Structure formats: structure tokens, C-alpha cells
Amino acid sequence: MIPLISRLSLTDYLVVVLLYVETAISSVLGLIPQPVFNFFHSIISYSVNTDDSTIEEKLRECPTIHEMCALFGIAVEDHLVRTEDNYILTLHRIAPQPGTFNGKAVYLHHGLLMCSDVWVCQADRGKNLPFVLHDMGYDVWMGNNRGNKYSTAHLYYPPKSNKFWDFSIDEFAFFDIPNSIQFVLDFVKVPKVLCIGFSQGSAQMFAAFSLDEKLNQKVSQFIAIAPAMTPKRLHNSLADTIAKSSPSLMYLFFGRNIILPSAVTWQRTIHPTVFNKLIDLGNRILFNWKSFNITPQQKLACYAKLYSTTSVKSIVHWFQILRSQKFSMFEESDDMFNSMTRPYMIPTFPTRTNIKIPILLIYGGNDLLVDIKVMKRNLPATSVFDVMVEGHEHLDLIWGQYTDTLVIAKVLKFVAFFDSIGAAGLSPGSRRNSILNDDPEVLAPTASVTSSNGSPLNVPRLLNGVPISPRNSSGGLPPMASSHTLTAKVLLSPGTAAQSRTSPLSQSIRRDSTEATEVDPLVTPGQDADDIAQEQDLQEQPYDDALEDIREEVEEDLDDLDDDDEDADAPDSFLDEATVQQNKRQRRRLTRYLSNEA
């Protein structure tokens, strides 16, 4: 503790004191009924001419994801999953409309201090990734971590007990991710699922895939949006100092149960415009995020869904990773001196050797939490693709005003690329831990769809899950080259084994949103009537039909994808030269395909 104290300034001590004062004030405010705050909020809104009828305001007021999706005419189901260590998780499902199912399921997982709400916060329907996938015929599932507002149940421990909150990223990876994915596979009855993670959701999937070889065989592709693995540092010196100090300091500040439980109280107490300013200030202090790509109106909806409960221990786990700069498992006996003198090593997640899934990393160029060079060194070299979104930060990639063209389009292109290869005759048993041999005829065509700002949005042209009129009619492909032959045993740290190893008992409950509120599409300045009409058409019919109508415009994206025979980098030692050259050329081809905007 002494080294830490010597590094704190007078201002830092003041912050610590204010933290305790804030806890006391929030406890008092928590006793005041919500209608009292609503009354004062209405007075402030009237005085500043705030429009409560906007879609952003309606989204902000929705208590759950069911009401949020109902604003867009979409019904949501609840499904309960019992994990192997007896937590009860809630999965949210958007079932495909009758006659539109493309035979595929997708599983999305949220980030740190979040829940499934974050996926459907955008006022523009076409900027919510689950809605786009739903329109394309996917069976869409959104997961929730143990401890957040949708998953606060356990068979034996009440939420008020310390034992309920005794979990870290390890438990997310050991149980929550694999048990949720298995439930989706069993329910939909498909052999594989497409996985998409945001921030910590990506980290949980990296960890889960590295620990379970069989889980790799159940996932077709993995897309990591704003992926987190080994952040460099926090922008604020005090926060960075606390993060790299002994966990006992965190436990002293926040206890051992819920992290920042007062956040909910402040959210309902402070007027939304003021609350948003405070969130922006906090993000700027901690991460140097300026959030210029998220409009003030959009923040009204998104920031209200930014916080959901989790354990202090999971935050401490991130701080251990931050200090060690290794994506490692939780260290139970961690303290400042033990870290320097311990006679053992904390195991790291074997992400480089054990993950055998095609991976796409989409990250912001201004995101302090993403160290892309370190991340790529810790992932399989020949099966990982990365796309940088210039001028964007962490939250911009799901809530920014250009997510449709800069993020969603990349997701759809990546999935279509590998799906088209499978449709062309790749055997189901082939290993998917490397890039395919060079074949220019299997790239998925794209269709030009108008986005919300009137610009063309290229999305893969699919019909029932496979490309329409694939350019490769032969159906033949050489087998995939294996880029990794090494395997590693599953590593389990002491104390993380489940108390009960019985098979998960999964239950499902259907909860449909009974009323769907119609919302007029937002009109972006510069849009003409034709653009708006086309958007309405796309929202009202499945993408299969919409893309069929514009199939004449699908060839342009592929015109520039000629063979690129540039010299490749030095090959990995365990691959022959010809295979490496093929892998390199295919990587360049897909990279250019993903970077093609128009």
C-alpha cells in the first residue's frame, strides 16, 4: 500500500474522499420515489423545449429490451439457460419471420458493464446489427452475463450474497459463453453458429474458444467488434495507478459484490442531458474518448443503457490483465508483493494455438483500449483479419452514426466470403483455422443497398443463406491448408472448477412483445423521397426479397479483386512455402474486399 500512497497527489486523495461522499449521497437519493424525479425532469424538459416524442427519448424510457424492440415492430423471446455452475442466464431471441429463415443462427454478446440492450439502441433501424441480421433471415440470439440485470438468479445463492458475485472473466469463459452457445445450437438445431462479440464480449469468446476445442467446431466465424484483450493503460493517471495496484484497494473502495451500484440511482436522478455530459466527461478522463461520432440525440438512448451490474471481481480481473499485459486467468491471491515473489506462473488463455475459427477484428483507430499489434500476436496468424475504422473510438462502433456503412457492411461481407466458400463445396470436416487456398471465383457477390444517409451500402447478396448466382459453378475447391498443428490442453486455475459438473438443464420461456409501436423512419438531411421510400421498403420486407430486387448491381465490388502476386512475408516454420504463399494471397484478397466501401 505504501508505494501506492506515495504516488497519489492531493487531488487524488480528494477524489477518494469524494468517492465515499458519493456513496453516501446516492444511498439517500435511493430512498426518494421515482415519480418525484420524473416530475422535476418534466419541468426541466419543458423549460428547455425537449421533445419527448423522438425515437431516442422513447428508447431511453424503455425499461427492457422487449419494449425497445417493440418500437420497431419486433418481438423478443426470453430463454433461460442453467450453466454448469448453476447460474440462470437469460438469452434474448429475435426469431425469424415465417418463411424467411436462412438456416443460420447468430449469437451476439455484450461488453463490460452492459447487457443485451446495447445491441438495439440505435434510433435508425438499419444501424442495429441484430435487426439487419434478422431481416436477412438469421435466427438472432443475444446473450447476457451472469450478474447483469437480466441474469441475477442462481439455484442456491441469492443476489445479496458474496458467493453470488464471486466470479471473474474465467467463469464467463468456462460456463456462460459455451453453455449459451450450446443452448442456441440445441434449440435451433443447426450444426454451427455465427458469433459476434463487442468489447469484453469478444474477450470472453477468445477465452472460451481457447479453452474448448469442441466449441471451435460449433462456431462458423467469429467477429470481434472493438475487441478487448490486453489494454495498454488508462488515460487518467489516478485510475491507471489504482488499476495497477493491489486488488485490496479496489475491494476497499467498492466491496466484493456489485461494482458501482449507485450508477442506477444517479441515472434516474439526474436529467438525461446532464447525465450524458457526465458520461462524456468520465469517458474522456478514463479513456480519452470524445464520442464525436455519436450524435447528442443518440446519446439520450444509448447512455441510458450503458450500465448494467457486474462483479467487482471481474473488474479486478481486468486490472490484473492491465498490470501484467497478459491475457491471463484470475489470480486469487494477488497483491502487490506476491506478484513479484510468487514461485508460480498465472496461466494465460492459449488463444494463439487453440482457436481454429476465421476471425474478423473491427476496431477504432482512436480506441485506447485496443492494442491491435499485441492482440494479433496472441491470435492465430493466418486466420485473423482486421479492419481499422479511422477516427472512431470504442463505443462508436455500435452507436456511431455511420455504423451501417463502416461496421455492419464489413460484418456481412466477411460472413458472406466464408459462406460462399462453404457453398462452393468445402467439406464440413475441413479445419477452419487458416485462410483458404487462392480461388478468385468463390467471393460472394454484393448488392448495393441505400443506407440511412443516402449513400450506397454494399451487403452480400444472399438467398436462404447462400450467395445468389455464385460465380463459381464448378463447386470444387482444394482443401484448406492447416496453419497450426500444435494443440494445448485446457488450463484450469485452482478454485475455478464448478461445484456441480452435471449437464446444464436448459429451459426456455417465450415472452412476445404484445404491442408494436410504429415509428416513422428518421429522415437524414439530404435524403430525397426515393431514398426514404427505399429505406421503408427494406424495413418492411426481408433482405432476401429486397436484395433480389437489386441483383443487377452486384458485380462492381468484385471487379478489383484480381490476383495479387506480390511477394509474401517469410513463412511460418511449420508450413511449406507454397501453402504460405497461397494463404498470403487469400488474406490480401479478403482484406481488399472488406476495405471496398463503394
Those residues with Cβ within 8 angstroms of residue 131's Cβ, 6 or more apart along the chain or in another chain:
72, 74, 94, 120, 125
Taking the C-alpha atoms of residue 199 and residue 551, their distance in angstroms, rounded to an integer, is 35
Q: 282 near 125, Cβ under 8 Å?
A: no
Q: How far apart are CA 433 and CA 497, in angstroms?
A: 28
For 316-334, letters b (16+ CB in 10 Å) and e give bbbbbbbbbebbbbbbeeb
Among 317, 394, 434, 557, the one annotated catalytic: 394
Q: What is the DSSP letter of 404?
A: I
* Pairwise CA distance, residues 568 & 577, whole Å: 10
Nearest to 511 by CA among 219, 90, 132: 90
Helix (H) or strand (E) holding 364: strand 359-364
| Pairwise CA distance, residues 242 & 93, whole Å | 39
Q: Indicate if 271 belongs to the active site.
A: no
Distance CA 24, CA 443 (A): 59
| C-alpha grid cell, residue 98 | 415465417
Mark whether 199 is an active-site residue: yes
Angle CA(411)–CA(416)–CA(420) in degrees, nearest 5?
A: 160
Residues sharing a CB contact under 8 Å with residue 253, sequence separation 6 or more, in sequence order: 16, 19, 242
Which residues does 383 contact at the CB level (< 8 Å), separation at least 6?
355, 356, 357, 358, 359, 432, 433, 434, 435, 483
Catalytic residue of the set 199, 246, 308, 328: 199
| Residue 51 falls in the annotated catalytic set | no
- Check: CB of residue 426 under 8 Å from CB of residue 477: yes
Catalytic residue among 212, 367, 396, 404: 367
Residues annotated as catalytic are: 199, 367, 394
